[in-house]
Amino acid sequence: MKKTLSFVMAAGLILSLGACGQGASTKTKAPTAAVPEPTTAAQTTGTPEETKRISDKDVEVSFWHHMEGTNASALETAVNHFNETTGKEYGIVVTPSFQGSNTAEKLNTLAQAGDWKNFPDVCQVASAGIPAISGYDLFVAPEDMYAKGEDILLPRESIIANNARTFTYKDKLCAIPFSNSTILLYYNKELFKAAGLDPENPPKTIAEMADAITKLTAKDGNEVTTYGLNVQVKRYQLVNWVGGEGDFNFIGDNEGGRAGLMSKVTFGEDGSLMTYLNEWEKVIATGGYKPVEDNINEEFAMQLSAMAIMSSARIAKLNDLIGDSFEWGTAPFPKVNAEDKGGTAVGGSGIVMFDKGNADELRASWIFQQYLGGEDAQYDFCTASGYIPMNKDLYEEERMKTYLSENTAMVAAVDQLMASNPNVQEPFDIVTGDINSIIDEEMLAFAQGTSDKQTTHDNIVNKCNEKLEAYVKVNAK
């Protein structure tokens, strides 16, 4: 029987998911409790050809999610559409339920208590939770469902390779990608023109970005009135820069935690962290870089910063804030060096499911899980929320081509995702919250001049490894 995540790992996971993006392979025995028997193959017989209904009675599926605001409305619309179409065909009724911003934390609480009966059938989780969740007794991986070959509505090959890799742990697809994003450069085209820069040729490297910052920064005496760039370098930003170096670059050992337990960072020993810091030093030297994010969306919309680095998931929000007040655009994430080919990581969440011992519910959950990755759900959800569709077949459809032609800010995100190496991913680094705090603190000190480059490098490497080593010492078997 599979074992559940240790409480120590849970603490790291709770911190990590608020930052958006990893877990561990180590599993410990769950507290003694009644665990439903897994569904056997003999329980999954097909229905008569004359009907797709799973049962004479509707099968109810509980679905936990962490979406709020506009995104929640878009998700609930997708669920309602399922209930009215595919759900009606199969006799499935899905009930969505908001469970706070960290569904993985809630799952872990139940798992630690052995409270399997209160698990949902299906759950939306950030990618950071995958290694932990894959160890729960009730977890069922899409990889295993595809191997069975039953009720296949979403072909495995329809999932973009980069997105699939994001939710793959130990060579097994553990979730169907759903709300995915990538990191982008946002820039004010009108301020570019005013500074004598080509608005159709934004910076492609960190060095080019530093040159642009110098020209875009505006001051009133000694006070900066418009910053050339706003971004607070935390784990999310740093691992994208370092991960994209060369053809691709793993942040830690065991393929950044995807092939097994990540026990150390490797960006110190392979030189990739210093390579990045050498370039980032040029940005700091401009004097027009704001290293703290107070209200990055609003400040960009108010033209208090000419460039900003943010997730593509912010596009819809910025459209609302800016409206027609000025012309702006998005561009690929600037590379560390011009010859780098790695690209960027996929961020966001995926859909996992659990076998609670009822064959009909498991089958219904699998059908719904796939539906959320299908063309209709991805089109409806992503065009309403600003996330990037993970279904490659959708991009061949006229409706998606029309949408992208009318929403040009999304084009850079899609193109960048498609061009990136699937091995460029945020790591499954176990103590993600701790690592995020270390990088945030050290990079801010570097930007503010209270720490030099070598000290910044050494502190990031040593402190991250201390946290990883402490976890491994307690949890590795």
Q: Which of 4, 16, 27 is nearest to 430 (CA)?
A: 16
- Mean of all residue pLDDT scores within the chain: 91
Give 227's DSSP letter: B
- pLDDT, tens only, 326-375: 999 999 999 999 999 999 999 999 999 999 999 999 999 999 999 999 99
Q: Which residues contact 107 (CB under 8 A, 6 or more apart)?
A: 119, 123, 125, 129, 133, 136
pLDDT of residue 50: 61
Give pLDDT, residue 46.
Answer: 45
Helix axes 453-475, 272-285, angle to 10 degrees: 140
83 Cβ contact partners less than 8 Å away, ≥ 6 residues apart = 92, 93, 94
Q: Which distant-in-sequence residues (6+ apart) come within 8 Å of 9 by Cβ? A: 23, 24, 26, 132, 430, 471, 475
Q: Are 216 and 189 in contact (CB under 8 A)?
A: no
The answer on pLDDT for 420 being more than 60 is: yes
Distance CA 274, CA 399 (A): 45
pLDDT of res. 5: 39
| Cα 136 from Cα 115, distance rounded (Å) | 11
- Confidence tier at 3 by pLDDT (50, 70, 90): very low
How many Cα atoms are found within 13 Å in the side-chain-facing hemisphere of 201?
A: 4
CA–CA dist 169, 157 (Å, integer): 18
All structural domains of the chain with their residue ranges: 7-181+346-396, 183-344+426-475
Going by C-alpha positions, the residue among 294, 89, 94, 319 that lies closest to residue 186 is: 319
Q: State mean pLDDT over 10-27.
A: 38
C-alpha span between 167 and 154 (Å, rounded):
16
Count other Cβ atoms within 10 Å, centred on residue 287. 12
pLDDT in tens, 97-111: 999 999 999 999 999
39 pLDDT more than 60:
no
Quick one: average pLDDT of 236-240?
98
Token pair in block for residue 171: 């060579």
Q: Do domains 7-181+346-396 and 183-344+426-475 have the same CATH topology?
A: yes
Residue 369 near residue 351, CB atoms below 8 Å: yes
Q: For position 477, what pLDDT does the model report?
A: 62
Q: What kind of fold does domain 183-344+426-475 have according to CATH?
A: D-Maltodextrin-Binding Protein; domain 2 (3.40.190)
The CATH class of 7-181+346-396 is alpha beta
pLDDT of residue 33: 40
* Residue bearing the bigger pLDDT, 463 or 5: 463
Torsion on CA atoms 283, 289, 292, 296, rounded to nearest 10: -120
Question: Rounded CA gap, 303 and 343, in Å?
Answer: 28
**287-312 residue pLDDT tens:** 999 999 999 999 999 999 999 999 99
